[in-house]
Amino acid sequence: MYTKFLKLALVLLICTTSCKKNNNDDDIPVADDAAFALWIQLGTWPNTSYYALNVKDLTQGSAKLQGNGIDVTTKLNNSVIVKDGFYYFYNAAEGRLGKYKLENGAVNVVKEVPFSHLASLAGHTWVNDHTLVMIGNNASGNAVNTVVINTDDLSITTGTVTGLPERPESYNKYLVGGDLQFKDGKLFFSVNMQNTTAFRVYPRLYTMAVSYPGFAVTKISTDDRSVGVGSTSGYFATSFVDHNGDMYFLTSWNLVWNENGSRAPKGIYRIKKGEDELDKTYYVDVLQETGKEAAAGVFMDLGNGKAILKVQETEGYENTKFGYIILDLATGNEVRKLTEIPAGASGERNIYVEDGKAYIAVLSGQGTDYIWIYDADSDKVTRGLSIQGGYNSFSRIDKLK
Amino acid sequence: MVAFFRNKGFRISLIFLLAMILLQGQGQTQRQQYVITARVVDTDNIPVEGVTVKIAGTAQSTRTDQAGVFLLPVPNTGNYSIALSSMGFEIQRQEIKAQQPGQINTDLIILSRNARQMDEVAVAGRSETRQLKEQGFAVNAIDTRRLANTTADLNQVLNRSTGVKVREQGGMGSDFEFSVNGLSGSAVKFFMDGVPLDIMGSAMSLNNIPVNLADRIEVYKGVAPIELGSDALGGAVNIVTNKSLANYLDISHSYGSFQSNQSALNTQYVHHPTGLVFKASGFFNYSKNNYLMRDVEAVENNAFVLRDLPRFNDRYRSLMGRFEVGVVNKSWADALFIGVGYTDFDKQVQTGVRQSIVYGNVSRDGNAKAASLRYSKTGLLADKLDLSLFANYSRDYSVVADTVLRNYRWDGSYTEGNSETGTFGLATVKRPRIFTRTNANYRLSDRHKLSLNYTLDQIENNAYNAYYAENDDMPGKLGKHIVGLAYQHEWFGRWTNTFMAKYYGLSTEKRQYDYGVQGMVNVSDYNSYYGYAIASVYKWTPHAGIKASYENTYRLQDVNEMFGDGFQIFNNLDLKPEASNNMNLGLYYGLQSGKHDWFVEALGTYRNVKDFISPNQYANNMIQYQNLTNSLVRGVEGEVRYGYGNWLSAMVNLTYQQAIDNTKYLNNDPSNGISSTYESEIPNRPWLFGNFDLGITKQGWPNHDSRLQLNLMTHFTQWYYRSWANISTENSTEIIPKQLIHSAIVSYATPGGKYNISFECRNLTNELTFDNFRLQRPGRACYVKLRYLLIQNN
């Protein structure tokens, strides 16, 4: 009887373990290495996953994530920095800086080094093709730390910015701007002073010129019309130096700045070529100019004196739909809204700009999503690549080749 | 809106309790109470538990306890005719004399075994646990007394039962996820003797309660009896402690791998002349948890290398002490007890959600104090009404300390870095809590019964960072009022139905900063919800039946989920409770033939959960809790038990679960379109797992009445996906591999079970085992346990 029982148990076990398909045995096609990676987010916490979908052409054809998404969840997140087909990612929680490449349908580690000098990555800029500068708070938030990375071998030089403006009493932390740009041989970025217990910032924007590679503040200019910082953390892109050598940045990360709980307006500033201070004659209050609140935040140079700005369909924080506006950089005036593009959800950095064209990934909520292409020269919007839809977000579009 | 009434329910319950005591006291002058009692043993003088004792011609019945003792109150003196029945024994009828309380002599009744089943049929396995399994509820009933000599905690015991999956993040005291039929987290509620386990504090959890403290564990799947008075979405676990009236002392200590020490004490003294009972229980757990982590990253020469390294920040210590004093078997109370309890825990935390996030200086500790009162009385209103009341006040305190700015590696080295958890300081939570529960059962007739439950559970949540502040100036209060009404009837002696209706009242209150008035304001709300359930069983033979149950149930919202924090978490007054439709359909069949004893059961489960509450993150890191997802979990599970004589027992069970993302529209918002994961299998969940246990007992070896026992246990978990299946490329698809863990226990008990020693080895083959998100679990671990057990039967 006992042997019968054992046999029964064994049969039951074998039967049920073999019943289920092991999907790993299925042939899942591996996408070829391609020109672009579209980052797609799926699922709800705690099963949120990020996938990079390789696509050859953003302007036409169709793509499907199923079976083709490179699962990047455990190695990367969408705050990566991309250049020349490599991803650079600072994982603050694990104390790791790495260089990665998407190959053979997977994330391959080129190199990883121990690194924990920044509380988090606030901003980055390229000093040259091999030198990446990143800034962020120190761990306690009372200083701004820096790192210079040789991206060929991931050798790093860490430092701290000296000469930051003094913090007023009770404002215990710097909110460091990701609006970091390299212009005229210097670095430029902004800070706010933050009271972390009252969740409030001091109502003054401090923008600095900082020497490179000494990281000493050489000039501080202030403005009280808007208080906030941009972000080039990798998640977002809110500053650039245009072809004239002028730097523009958007304050898109705006906290409460007064006692009645309102948040500072989002504005665009300029520092002209050869100058170390804010251009006092230039300020664009985005809401006043366009009637829309700037999203947090994509503000990208189209290269012909125009820029594309992502805006919220509704004001405030509980918004999920976005629109896109073309601005004339010199005047700060709105050229037009891209009404051809349906208002839809999107991820943090859903726009890629190249050769005067903006490629915009929009979640339609209609089953099929599209890459919309705005051509600044012809001022026309066309519909490009279609993607089988239903995703949480399009977080990034990156050029890999 | 109904105003939030602090302490009101508590006061009502207390007044009700006092009134009942007074009323009963008055009744005493008019009517003398008597009892009939006896100790039931078999022909070998071994106490027989679970014998049904029924007074002839009435509906009044009871069962014998662990010591074989039963006690029934009766209104008059004189002789009563009783019938005693238990499987494996001849039905026995006899006269018994009623006695006055306080002057009790316990008679001895000897039951004869059923000749057909001979005297080798093991009785214990068919007592209360099997009777529970034969109810309409889908329930796992585990007789933990059989495991009392093992070093297992309750999680390990439950993980071996069907439909249950416990995923621990590490060794002793580690965080765990307990799932019943695929639902976990706050969907499953835990109770001890029908009272929420966590009112005794955070240390009181299934991963550190020693098995000695429990007599039995019941796992209700999907549909739970109203007596538990909970807003459980997916099920309830009830730990039942020893209720016998014997004097006993159960003391044990175990020592094993990773410097693990576990002590447990469980004792009771009954002073029969006065009916006074003193109960004490406690445990102490300690472990370094310094098990070896394989192939983890260390830093050498400023580069990452893979090494096998011990965990270095995972020490765990917890203790619990509980004392109760009361009286039993009075005319005005079957039991009236007051009790105090204290729990304390101190735990280091080694990793974040992934093992690549290493903590070196994070700890969590806390304590809780509780005072309780319980009262029960059966046989009120001409033996029709049974009443039980419970009230508890507790203060729970816990703090997560993260006070260094460092980035640790597995070799224990560190560099300056962020706060380890991301929340620098001393995240402190203080929770004063009032809990009252009233249960009343009214027998309309022999076969019809009404039950009523009212539970008030009121928690004030004070959460603040003690590094910067001394208290929470924005505390939240949550009051749950749960009323359950059940009607049970039995048709044709074969078919039993239980119909249940539930009311859930949720009062929430929070102090919040309001920018409009530039000051603190109180915000509050009250919401009502209604649920219902049915549990049905049809027995076509005394030991074979089919059962089905259905429930429409809720998990109520939390204060912070509704009101947020005013800064980084938005409020959401439209938030709904998580709701579920649960269905079970089961079969069971028991067969005895000669020395063979079989029990087979199978269960199909269906859980349709809507409106899971999850944080929705907006672009600027602002969060709002919303009803974002739905899921559909279907499963089948089966278990076969076999016993041969009293020397062999075997069990095999297998559970298959399919959890589907049932969120049609992304974030449950139709304007977002159809979700790409709609109807996909939810990742990071085991979908097939099972157990095989084999027990061999040698009675009377090496000397008469001693017992040597060998248990072999195998736990199997099939591989599962770490993230969504069929989305990723083959090369980037991550799976949690298949796991097969073998354990063995050898135990020896001296005659009468007074002295016990056992050796236990878990994960014999030292297999690399994982849990959530591939967190490594301990390798081979061995323990020795010494136990002294003294039972004095009156």
Q: Please give the pLDDT value at position A33.
A: 57
Q: What is the pLDDT of residues B177-226, one digit of tens each?
A: 889 998 888 889 999 999 998 888 877 888 888 888 888 899 999 899 99
Average pLDDT score over residue span B763-774: 84
What CATH number does the domain located at B32-115 have? 2.60.40.1120
What is Dmax (Cα atoms) for chain A? 95
pLDDT band at A123 (very low <50, low <70, confident <90, very high): very high
pLDDT in tens, B728-756: 898 998 888 999 999 999 999 887 778 99
pLDDT range class, residue A191, cuts 50, 70, 90: very high
- pLDDT attached to residue B534: 95
Evaluate whether residue A26 is within a structural domain.
no
Interface of A with B in 186-225 (CB under 8 A): 197, 199
User: Contact A105/B732, CB-based, under 8 Å?
Assistant: yes
> B575: how many CB neighbours lie within 10 A of its CB?
21
Contact B638, B588 (CB under 8 A): no
How far, in Å, CA of B718 to CA of A16, rounded? 10
pLDDT for position B47: 72
**Amino acid A13: pLDDT:** 44
Tell me, yes or no, whether A167 lies in a domain: yes
Question: Hey, is the C-beta of B492 within 8 angstroms of any chain A C-beta?
Answer: no
Q: What is the rounded CA–CA span in Å between residue A52 and residue A45?
A: 19
Is residue A140 one of the residues assigned to a domain? yes
Residue A238 located in a structural domain: yes
Q: Is residue A393 part of a domain?
A: no
Assess B185–A contact: CB distance below 8 Å, yes or no.
no
Closest-approach residue (CA) in chain A for B622: A317
- pLDDT for the residue A349: 87
Cβ of A47 and B724 within 8 Å? yes
pLDDT value at residue B313: 96
Q: Is the pLDDT of residue B772 over 60?
A: yes
Q: What is the pLDDT of residue B677?
A: 86
pLDDT at B25: 38
* Residue that is written with structure tokens 């019945």 in the block: B61
The domain that holds A171 is classified in CATH as 2.115.10.20
Cβ separation A24–B620 shorter than 8 A: no
The reported pLDDT for the residue numbered B27 is 38
pLDDT tens digits, one per residue of B25-34:
333 333 447 8
Q: How far is CA B40 from CA B37, B74, B126, B627, in A?
A: 10, 19, 16, 55
What is d(CA B335, CA B65) in angstroms, rounded to the nearest whole number? 15
Look at residue A116 and tell me whether its pLDDT is greater than 60: yes
Range of the domain at A194: 117-282
B433 in Cβ contact with A133 (< 8 Å): no
Cα dihedral sign, B352-B354-B355-B358: negative
- Identify the band that residue A16 occupies on the pLDDT scale cut at 50, 70 and 90: very low
Predicted pLDDT at A3: 44
3-state SS, residue B774: helix
For residue B102, name the pLDDT band (cuts at 50, 70, 90): low
Report pLDDT for B417: 81
- Is the distance from CB of B53 to CB of B372 less than 8 angstroms? no
Write out residues 85-144 of A within 8 Å (CB-CB) of B.
92-96, 104-107, 112-114, 116-117, 119-120, 139-140
The residue of chain A nearest to residue B676, with distances taken between CA atoms, is: A390
Report in angstroms the alpha-carbon separations of B9 from B12, B435, B437, B456. 5, 9, 10, 6
- CA-CA distances (angstroms) from residue B660 to B613, B631, B724? 17, 6, 11
Q: How far is B723 from chain A (nearest CA, A)?
A: 7
Distance CA A201, CA A226 (A): 11
Mean pLDDT of B365-385: 92
Q: Check CB contact under 8 Å for B650 and A5.
A: yes
Is residue A103 assigned to a domain? no
Instruction: Report, as an integer, the average pLDDT of A225-239.
Output: 83
Cα of first residue to Cα of last residue in chain B, in angstroms, is 56
Which pLDDT value is given to residue B30?
39
Residues 356-395 of B with CB under 8 A from A: 356-358
Query: Chain B residues with CB inside 8 Å of A17's CB?
Result: 688, 718
Comparing A13-22, A294-303, A375-384, B364-373, which segment has the lowest mean pLDDT?
Answer: A13-22
Taking only the tens place, the pLDDT of each residue in B475-523 is 889 899 999 999 999 888 789 999 999 999 999 888 877 777 777 888 8
Rounded CA separation A90/A147 (Å):
11
Structural domains of chain A, count: 1
Interatomic CA distance for residues B519 and B427, integer angstroms: 24
Reported as a single tens digit per residue, the pLDDT across B137-184 is 888 888 888 788 887 888 888 988 888 988 888 888 888 888 999 888
Extract the tokens encoding A100.
């990665």
Partner-chain contact A1 B671, CB within 8 Å = no
DSSP output for B46-95:
-B--S-EEEETTSS-EEE--TTSEEEEEESSSSEEEEEEE-TTB--EEEE
What's chain B's average pLDDT?
A: 85
Query: Given B303, B416, B570, which is nearest A318 (Cβ)?
Result: B570
pLDDT, greater one: B503 or B114: B503
Q: Residue B621: what pLDDT? A: 60
In this complex, do B727 and A392 lie within 8 Å of one another by their Cβ atoms?
no
| pLDDT at res. B115 | 38
* A-chain residues near B692 (CB < 8 A): 9, 13
Q: Which of A26-40, A370-384, B244-258 shows the highest mean pLDDT? A: A370-384
Res. B393 pLDDT band, cuts 50 70 90: very high
- Residue B661, SS3 per DSSP: strand
Scanning A247-276 for CB atoms below 8 A from B yields 253, 259-262
Distance CA A115, CA A17 (A): 44
Query: Which residues from chain A sit within 8 angstroms of residue B518, using beta carbons?
Result: 259-261
Residues of chain A with C-beta less than 8 angstroms from the C-beta of B642? 1-2, 5
Asked if pLDDT for residue A5 goes beyond 80, the answer is no
Cβ-proximal residues to B574 (8 Å cutoff; 6+ apart), any chain: none
Give contacts of B 622-681 with A, CB under 8 A: 622, 624, 628-629, 638, 640, 642, 644, 648, 650, 652, 654, 656, 661, 663, 666-667, 671-678
Tell me the residues of chain A between 146 and 165 that have a Cβ less than 8 Å away from chain B. none
Kindly state the percentage of chain A with pLDDT values over 90: 65
Across the range B358-375, mean pLDDT stands at 95
* Predicted confidence (pLDDT) at residue B4 exceeds the cutoff of 60: no
User: In the predicted model, is pLDDT for residue B767 greater than 80?
Assistant: yes
Q: What is the largest CA-CA distance in chain B?
A: 90
Looking at per-residue confidence, does A80 or B87 come out higher?
Answer: A80
pTM across the whole model: 0.82
Instruction: Report whether pLDDT(B297) > 90.
Output: yes
Contact A114, B774 (CB under 8 A): no
Q: Are B337 and B324 in contact (CB under 8 A)?
A: yes
> What per-residue confidence (pLDDT) applies to B110?
77
The pLDDT of residue A318: 67
Q: Is A11 on the interface with B (CB under 8 A)?
A: no
Flag whether A378 is in a domain: no
pLDDT grade, residue B78 (50/70/90)? confident
CA distances from A387 to A27, A39, A64, A230, A366 (A): 22, 12, 6, 30, 11
Residue B172 CA to residue B159 CA, distance in Å, equals 15
Question: What is the band of B46 on the pLDDT scale with cuts at 50, 70, 90?
Answer: low
pLDDT at position A30, please?
Answer: 39
What's the angle, vertex CA B360, arms to CA B355 and CA B366, rounded to 5?
100
A363 contact residues in B (CB cutoff 8 A): 672-673
Q: How far apart are CA B204 and CA B199, in angstroms?
A: 8
Closest-CA residue of chain A to B624: A318
Between residues B399 and A296, the one the model is more confident about: B399
Type and span of the H or E element at B448:
strand B448-465
Counting residues of chain B whose pLDDT is more than 70, the rounded percentage is 89
Give the per-residue pLDDT at B15: 45
- Per residue in A335-350, pLDDT (tens digit) is 999 999 998 888 888 9
Task: Give the pLDDT band of residue B114 (cuts 50, 70, 90).
Answer: low
> B728 vs chain A: nearest CA distance in angstroms?
4
- Rounded to 10 degrees, what is the CA torsion of B69, B75, B81, B87? -40
Structure ipTM: 0.83
B153, B155, B156, B160: CA torsion to nearest 10: 140
Question: B26: helix, coil or strand?
Answer: helix
Band the pLDDT of B604: cuts 50, 70, 90: very high
The Cα–Cα gap between A67 and A388 comes to 12
Mutation pick from A71, A260, A317 vs chain B, by most beta carbons of B within 10 Å, is A71
What are the domain boundaries of chain B?
Answer: 32-115, 128-792
What pLDDT, on a 0 to 100 scale, did the predictor assign at position B618? 66
**What is the rounded distance in angstroms from the CA atom of residue B545 to the CA atom of residue B137?**
12
**Residue A178 is assigned to a structural domain of this protein:** yes
The pLDDT of residue B358 is 92
Instruction: Say yes or no to pLDDT of B124 above 70.
Output: no
Quote the pLDDT of residue B259. 95
**Percentage of chain A lying above the pLDDT 70 cut:** 90
CATH number of B128-792: 2.40.170.20
Q: What is the DSSP string of B456-508?
A: EEEEEEEEEETTT-SS-SS-EEEEEEEEEEEEEEEETTTEEEEEEEEEEEEEE
pLDDT given for residue B123 in this prediction: 33
List pLDDT tens digits, range B446-472.
Answer: 789 999 999 999 999 888 889 888 888
Which chain A residue has its CA at the smallest distance from B678's CA? Answer: A390
